[in-house]
Structure 1
């Protein structure tokens, strides 16, 4: 994964609001008004969060009349997951070593 793209994805997901928006979109595309109804903020504020997600490639937008419909684009998340895999293995091995050490102390 390109480190600039990874940085954009990490930055976009740094906000709890944007993480919640991506979670809401797991069920399928939704209009911005539906998404905004889940938050105690104005619709324009939610739209700003959606713009950050869109700029990071995490959501796409289409117009249906006057409505804007947002859809989750999971490809950047898959790429990020692949990028994180070596670190996951690293920590899994470290925790396994710690478990073995603690088991030896218990004996």
Structure 2
């Protein structure tokens, strides 16, 4: 693959990652992600549990969880009337890995 093709692929990677980058770029959402990473991925946490661990208000946590869900960074599992939020390796976070690998490939080949 030539350099122009690689740059075009990286441009596409950036476009695909825009929502994810915006979602994880916020410090408050980063703290929520760290809390979720510290729990069992299969179980997840409820809004109240995240609120306790982040010391944010319940509405703030819900707002940030919505942004993270809309970006495909976290997933939600329903259990009756309860919602559990968690990170899964199959979320859109994988797009970031592709972006970094494509940049690394270009830089090691041409620089």
How high is the TM-score relative to the length of structure 1? 0.71
Is 2:68 aligned against 1:53? yes
Aligned residue runs from structure 1 range 53-72, under 5 A = 53-72=68-87
Change (3 A) 1:77 1:38: same
Deviations 1:65-85 (A, max 9, x none): 332110113332222111112
Calculate the aligned-residue CA RMSD, in Å.
Answer: 2.4
Distance in 2 of aligned mates of 1:10 and 1:84: 12
The number of aligned residues is 93
Q: For the structure 1 residues 14 and 5, does the alpha-carbon distance in structure 2 shift closer, same or farther, using more than 3 Å as the test?
A: same
**Could you tell me how far apart the structure 1 residues matched to 2:77 and 2:57 are?**
21
**TM-score for both structures, normalised by structure 2:** 0.69
Higher-RCO chain (CA-CA 8 Å, sequence separation at least 6): 2
Question: Which consecutive residues of structure 1, in runs of 5 or more, have no partner in the other structure?
Answer: 95-107
Contact in 1 for aligned 2:45/2:86 (Cα 8 Å): yes
Give the counterpart of 2:29 among 18, 21, 27.
18
Instruction: Name structure 2 gaps, 5 residues minimum.
Output: 1-11
**Which residue of structure 1 lines up, in the alignment, with residue 54 of structure 2?**
39
Contact map agreement 2:23 2:29 (CA 8 A) in 1: yes
| Higher strand proportion | 1
Q: Tell which structure's C-alpha radius of gyration is larger.
A: 1
